[in-house]
Amino acid sequence: KYEHGFRHTSLIHSRNVRTMSTMGRRMDTTLFIKNGPSPAGLGLGGEGYLSFSIATPTGEGVTNPMTFTRQRRCVMVDDLRIV
């Protein structure tokens, strides 16, 4: 209702990797954050570069000056973070 079906951002807090994977596929959002705050999907405390520009499946997604294609970002904070 509030997101208007734009599939912008979803997040989950769980220790079950299978549950996180299932939700990620079902939600099909541009940003999917696991076990962290939603700003981590924009690069604040998560992986990737900082970007305040995010659009919908018909727009850019997380952008930088060189790309304007929808790039989905999946962010894991703390557990299972290898780097």
Query: Does the residue 25 lie in any domain?
Result: yes
- Answering whether pTM is above 0.85, one says no
In this predicted structure, what is the pLDDT of residue 66?
60
In this predicted structure, what is the pLDDT of residue 1?
65
Segments in the chain below pLDDT 70 = 1-3, 46-72, 79-83
Domain that holds residue 29: 9-76
Query: Does the residue 2 lie in any domain?
Result: no
**Helices (H), ranges, the chain:** 17-27
Query: Does the residue 81 lie in any domain?
Result: no
Contacts 24+ apart (CB under 8 A), 76-79: 76/34, 76/35, 76/36, 76/47, 77/33, 77/34, 77/35, 77/36, 77/37, 77/40, 77/45, 77/46, 78/35, 78/36, 79/15, 79/35
Query: Does the residue 3 lie in any domain?
Result: no
Give me the number of domains the chain comprises. 1
In this predicted structure, what is the pLDDT of residue 83?
45
In this predicted structure, what is the pLDDT of residue 12?
92
Query: Does the residue 71 lie in any domain?
Result: yes
What are the backbone angles phi and psi of residue 19, rounded to the nearest 5°? Answer: -60, -40
